[in-house]
Amino acid sequence: MNRFYPAIFYPPLILKFLAKNPAPSLSAYHLLSTRKPEQLLKHQGSYTSILPKVSLLHVSIYVLFISIGFLIPLSFILLSPLWLVAVTWVSIGLGIFCAIFPVSPKTSANKNISKYRQPPTEVKNKTVLRLQKREAKLRQWIADKVLQPIGRSDAPAGVSEKTFYQVLRHVFPNAVQGVAFQNPQFSYPYSADFVFVHTSSLSIDIEIDEPYVGNTKAPHHCIDQGKDEIRNKFFTNGNWVVIRFSEKQVVKYPRSCCKVIASVVARVAGDRT
């Protein structure tokens, strides 16, 4: 049994990847999350700058109509047939109508602005919290180098494993319980309590260290630390990250255990979703 839990063991290949590609800082995600809002502000500014120009144009038209309405009767004060008087009053009426009931350009412009004015929560999405290039680089880095399971394990699962699996599946839907791996040094396969394979091909073996065997009550991980170390080396040599929790941790703090798993995914693959 390990002295401290949770215990995390990284394969040499993953450690080499981290050395060449340091874990992304929060600023990397901050730049991605603020890129779109900055662009939106530029769009918003371009629309709002149009408004005063369009408004000035309409005012000029109103003044022109009213001026025409007054200039015509003054120019032809001595010659005032009925048709000219009618046209004059129509011009004056049209100018007054436009002044009282203006067609505001803000209506159409605001529709365009509303497309760009979105709360930050709508702009941010899961893609922002993932570094696609880093995932692709990791996928290529470990391609065809990860030990593959041979199928499902027939080893009995403990009560704590079944309960924790429900929480684990809620956070990591692709997690699988009871997976067998062929070990050429033994006649029987190794059984992983849980495995989770990220879309970047990052593979994680999740183990629960019970202090005793469930059916026989015999001491288990507390006395066979050497076997645990051999097992850890088997999985890390196969390029699996090994995360070990104590039984108490998964029973009392299952979600905190899931956060530990998520932190490993974030550190290696750059996925913070």
DSSP string, 51-116: HHHHHHHHHHHHHHHHHHHHHHHHHTSS---HHHHHHHHHHHHHHHHHHHS---THHHHHHHHHHH
Element (H, E) at 32: helix 26-75
pLDDT at residue 222 greater than cutoff 80: no
Average pLDDT over residues 96-112: 54
The answer to whether 208 touches 164, Cβ cutoff 8 Å, is: yes
Identity of the highest mean pLDDT range in 6-10, 81-85, 121-125: 6-10
pLDDT for the residue numbered 93: 65
Q: Is the same domain home to 71 and 172?
A: no
Average pLDDT over residues 44-66: 54
Residue matched to tokens 């979105």: 118
The answer to whether 138 touches 200, Cβ cutoff 8 Å, is: yes
Element (H, E) at 144: none
Average pLDDT over residues 49-71: 59
Q: Is the same domain home to 75 and 191?
A: no
Number of domains into which the chain is organized? 2
The answer to whether 112 touches 47, Cβ cutoff 8 Å, is: yes
Average pLDDT over residues 257-264: 98
pLDDT at residue 54 greater than cutoff 60: no
Burial status of residue 149 (CB atoms within 10 A of its CB: 0-12, 13-18, 19 or more): buried
Paired tokens of 253:
């703090």
DSSP state of 238: T
Q: Is the same domain home to 153 and 259?
A: yes
Q: Is the same domain home to 78 and 208?
A: no
Q: Which residues contact 209 (CB under 8 A, 6 or more apart)?
A: 1, 2, 5, 220, 221, 228, 244, 245, 246, 247
Q: Is the same domain home to 148 and 68?
A: no
Q: Is the same domain home to 131 and 246?
A: yes
Q: Is the same domain home to 152 and 195?
A: yes
pLDDT in tens, 20-41: 999 877 766 655 555 554 544 4
- The Cα 72–Cα 167 span in angstroms is 84
* Per-chain mean pLDDT for the chain: 77
Last residue in a domain, options 65, 100, 135: 100
Is residue 63 domain-resident?
Answer: yes
Q: Is the same domain home to 188 and 251?
A: yes
Is residue 45 domain-resident?
Answer: no
Q: pLDDT category, 46, cuts 50, 70, 90?
A: very low
Q: What percent of the chain has pLDDT over 90?
A: 47
Burial status of residue 137 (CB atoms within 10 A of its CB: 0-12, 13-18, 19 or more): middle
pLDDT for the residue numbered 77: 58
Q: Which domain holds residue 209?
A: 7-22+125-269
Q: Name which of 142, 252, 115 is nearest 199 in CA terms.
A: 142
Q: pLDDT category, 127, cuts 50, 70, 90?
A: low
pLDDT in tens, 156-181: 888 899 999 999 999 999 999 999 99
Q: Is the same domain home to 17 and 130?
A: yes
Q: Is the same domain home to 179 and 146?
A: yes
